Amino acid sequence: MKLSITWKVIIFVIAILIFDQALKIWIKTTMYHGQSEPVFGNWFLLHFVENPGMAFGWKFGGKAGKLFLSIFRLAAIAGFIWYVRMLIIEKAPQGLVICVSLILAGAIGNMIDCAFYGLIFDTGTVFSSGEYIPYENTISKFSLDGYAPFLHGCVVDMLSFPIIEGFYPDSLPFIGGKRFVFFGPIFNIADVAVTTGVLSIIVFHWGFLKKTGKS
């Protein structure tokens, strides 16, 4: 039986979510915050951190900022669901539909962390005295007494690629002598899905969007 594009999108999004959430839950229940384990030498690590803000570790405000981001994510998810449906109805190229579905899956993946991880895990990064306080030397467990209310959980990040590490030359102003890492951000499967979807649209489908007036 040939699957419709709608079912392909549903299966695709669910598959990414399962992969994303399985890795996040495994990391959170087997590693403590800040723990790092090599995968391929020193250039690919599993480094567990929790992100209270946006993708790649970027932060935005305190509790109010966190709530705003969670609500924004919910609105973005609703918008992408509508957009994918419109693309399917208008018979847009399947490649474009899959790219937008990648972004949708990534947004849902990180939203699950924000919405529910604070409710189902006993420990996590919490906002206190004007800053987010991480926890160390403690492995999280599932619990009915969560660490944060609904929409205030933190996103689990773990993929680290410190390909090049070193120090800036002392002669450079402002940054001289400071340590640098390329590539520094720590991220997750959901972030990869969003980034891949956006870049693929720009590279492969921007012409179609311009031609149809959707860019």
Mean pLDDT by 10-residue block, N- to C-terminus, for the chain (215 residues)? 89 98 98 93 91 60 75 94 95 94 97 96 84 84 93 94 80 77 86 96 84 64
CA dist list (Å): 201 to 8, 53, 209:
18, 25, 9
Which phi and psi (to 5°) does residue 8 adopt? -60, -45
113 is known as an active-site residue: no
Those residues whose C-beta lies under 8 Å from the C-beta of residue 185, and which sit 6 or more positions away, are 56, 57
pLDDT score recorded for residue 56: 47
Say which of 113, 122, 157, 170 is annotated catalytic. Answer: 157
User: In the block, which residue shows the tokens 């040939």?
Assistant: 2
Rounded Cα distance, 33 and 39, in Å: 17
**Identity of residue 50:** E
- Taking residue 3's Cβ as centre, other Cβ atoms within 10 Å add up to 10
**Is 170 a known active-site residue?**
no
Angstrom CA distances, 61 to 53, 187, 190, stand at: 8, 20, 22
Query: Would you report the helix, strand and coil content of the chain in percent, each value rounded to 5?
Result: 50, 15, 35
